Amino acid sequence: MAEFRTCPDTGFQIDLAADKLIKWNAVTAVVFLLIGGVFGLAVALTRWPAVHLLAADNFYLALTAHGFDVLLVWMIFFEMALLYFTSSVLLKTRLALPKLAWVQYILMIVGALMTNVAVLRGDSSVMFTSYVPMTAAPDFYIGIILFAVGALLGCVVFFATLYIAKRDKTYEGSIPLVTFGAMTAAIIAVFTVLSGAVILIPTLFYSMGYVGSIDALMYRVVWWGMGHASQQVNVAAQIACWYAIAAILFNASPLSEKVSRTAFLFYILFLQLASAHHLLVDPGLSSEWKIFNTSYALYLAVLGSMIHGLTVPGAVEAALRKKGYTKGLFEWLRKAPWGNPVFSGFALSLVLFGFLGGITGVMMGTEQLNIISHNTMYVPGHFHGTVVVGSTLAFMALSYWLVPTLWQKELMFPRLAKWQPYLFGLGMGLASVFMMGAGTLGVPRRHWDMSFADAAMVHEFPAAAFMMMSLAGMAGMIGGLGGLIYILNMVGTVFFGKAKQPAKPVPETPNIGGAATTYGNAGTMAVPGTFVLALVFLTAFVLYYFVNWKYLSSVWGLS
């Protein structure tokens, strides 16, 4: 029989098994953020031309480890914690199949360690993408496969928990929007893991010599079915975090359940072969295929993100206007709690994800525009705008609430926490911008030496390209410092934090309860401030998009 404790802050009934699993997954996530982050710092210091820290072999090793540990291990461990939280805790039910959930944890950690060992040994520096015919040692793939199977089991536990909550009627009506978002992530995760299985199992046999050859293009199509879809998982999870934070801080309800849920559904329905984004300049695929898939069928998944981009801040604006911050367009924004890392992390994540990650992703995901950005530094610039200042920062922001609440401890360094989202968000945001700048000048990604000191023939990059890479390195250091402060704070809080003073007596309804808005034209507050901000975003988007067409039109003719 499952045992529960009552959270003194929120009144939630928390299943002890779920409690433990959420904590273990979250702490493990943070540990891998540290490992991957340190590799990231080494990579940044090597690509900073004046520093050029690592030797070539160690650089490619560190880059492989960096990609795997942060893009996959940190993100997915944290998402496992989110899945258990949004199902068991938010639906006030026990976690289904806790033993299976432990299998999830063990498989994922064994897999993560195995792949790390393979990479650190030095014979598997194949980058996160491990494009055939290049091969890594077999345990590199076995580790990833175990990790993925673990993640799949986590999704099974999540769906089973939704099922028993429904069966036991632990909630009325529909599941909360945040849980709905997490469900979107879990559904896409299943697709992701299956794609991964289809390609990585044959590749494992290929690396062991049991399979003669694997077609390079087929590998790329299927591998990116995993690689890109997993980013869609991150986006869905990150947006679920945004809605959760808006609710936790401001009692915000979505402006419209219907709109927000439909926008989540767009991610599932139009995921298509998102792998097309990575294959736009590949031989052997037709333009029709590329255009349809890269646009996720007429950009409807992009539309989904644009909708969230309005409805998330809109929900915050509506809630704050309800509280009386009604002056002008932006009083609600000026009076928002900018010193609270939960809020500042959330706000920066929202803005930076849209401007840095979103716009640039659509630009280089355009069939022809990909010609001027494919495999340049523009690509890491883009995804540091999505997965770092978007998803990672959103997860950090939520954990400033989640960790003290779950562990019932005070934050170890509240003053540092106040600054951390700015340090991390702006540092990484700038690093992302400078990387994109370097990419626009043609600097290649995954490249040890842009001065070509050992090469028979040399390309001379303009001084601006070297400057961009130096600035990216410096900004990366600032962001990295922000990341380290976050980890320090989380680890410190969990292990050495002061116990929280018993909060005010548990209220009848959770004290974060009570909707601030009702739906429909009559009840919903208008959100003019958010709308103006959204128009600013759209204007930037349109201008930037066409600037790049102009740039494309200036290069050599290709037909």
Partner 1 sequence: MSIFPPKERIWWNEPIEKSEVLWITLGLVWALVMFFMMPYWHMTGKQNLSNEAYKIRPEVFAERTQAFAEKYTVREEGDTGIPVVHPPVGSDIYMMGSTWEWWPVLELEKDQSYRLHLSSADLQHGFSLLPENINLQVLPGYDMVLTITPTSSGEFSVVCNEFCGIGHHTMVGKIHVVEK
Question: Which of the residues 84 through 143 are near partner 1 (CB under 8 A)?
Answer: 90, 125-127, 131-134
Among 251, 272, 340, 392, binds partner 1 (CB under 8 A): 251
Q: In angstroms, what CA-CA distances link 555 with 126, 197, 435?
A: 32, 40, 21
Check binding of 164 to partner 1 (CB under 8 A). no
Q: Toward partner 1, which CB reaches closer, 230 or 305? A: 305
Q: Toward partner 1, which CB reaches closer, 2 or 134? A: 134
Check binding of 328 to partner 1 (CB under 8 A). no
Min CB(463)–partner 1 separation in Å: 13
Q: Toward partner 1, which CB reaches closer, 105 or 353? A: 353
Question: Cβ(150)–Cβ(197) under 8 Å?
Answer: no
Among 20, 53, 102, 367, binds partner 1 (CB under 8 A): 367
* Interactions with partner 1, residue window 33-52 (CB under 8 A): none
Can you say how many angstroms the Cα of residue 228 is from the centroid of all Cα atoms in its chain?
Answer: 12
Residues binding partner 1: what is the number (CB under 8 A)? 115
**Strand, coil or helix: 134:** coil
Among 2, 106, 198, 217, binds partner 1 (CB under 8 A): 217
- Output Rg (C-alpha) for the chain, integer angstroms: 23
Residues 6 or more apart from 513 whose CB is under 8 A from it? 11, 251
Can you say how many angstroms the Cα of residue 362 is from the centroid of all Cα atoms in its chain?
Answer: 17
Check binding of 540 to partner 1 (CB under 8 A). no
Min CB(402)–partner 1 separation in Å: 12
Tokens 């919903």 locate to 524
Check binding of 293 to partner 1 (CB under 8 A). no
* Interactions with partner 1, residue window 378-437 (CB under 8 A): none
Question: Cβ(233)–Cβ(188) under 8 Å?
Answer: yes
Q: Toward partner 1, which CB reaches closer, 166 or 498? A: 166
Closest CA to 30 of 343, 398, 380: 398
Q: Toward partner 1, which CB reaches closer, 161 or 373? A: 373
Among 23, 102, 138, 256, binds partner 1 (CB under 8 A): 256
Among 8, 53, 257, 330, binds partner 1 (CB under 8 A): 257
The binding track of 449-488 with respect to partner 1, each residue x by CB under 8 A or -, is xx-x-xxxxxx-xx--------------------------
Helix ranges restricted to H, 48-137? 56-66, 75-84, 98-121
Closest CA to 437 of 500, 352, 490, 380: 380
Residues 6 or more apart from 305 whose CB is under 8 A from it? 235, 239, 263, 354, 358
Question: Cβ(443)–Cβ(469) under 8 Å?
Answer: yes
Q: In angstroms, what CA-CA distances link 205 with 128, 132, 213, 225?
A: 18, 12, 10, 20
Check binding of 212 to partner 1 (CB under 8 A). no
Q: Toward partner 1, which CB reaches closer, 376 or 432? A: 376
Min CB(217)–partner 1 separation in Å: 6
Check binding of 544 to partner 1 (CB under 8 A). no
- Identity of residue 416: L
Check binding of 329 to partner 1 (CB under 8 A). no
Q: Toward partner 1, which CB reaches closer, 6 or 287? A: 287
Check binding of 177 to partner 1 (CB under 8 A). yes
Q: State phi, psi for 5 to the nearest 5 degrees.
A: -125, 155
Q: Toward partner 1, which CB reaches closer, 223 or 424? A: 223
Among 65, 108, 145, 362, binds partner 1 (CB under 8 A): 362
Classify the phi-psi angles of 19: left when phi > 0, otherwise alpha if psi is within -120 to 50, otherwise beta.
Answer: alpha
Closest CA to 401 of 452, 343, 454: 343
- The string of DSSP letters for 104-119 reads HHHHHHHHHHHHHHHH
Check binding of 183 to partner 1 (CB under 8 A). no
Q: Toward partner 1, which CB reaches closer, 395 or 486? A: 395
Among 50, 99, 173, 463, binds partner 1 (CB under 8 A): 173
Residues 6 or more apart from 217 whose CB is under 8 A from it? 279, 282, 283, 284, 285
Instruction: With contacts defined by CB under 8 A, name the span among 14-22, 26-34, 56-64, 146-154 that binds partner 1.
Output: 56-64
Check binding of 185 to partner 1 (CB under 8 A). no
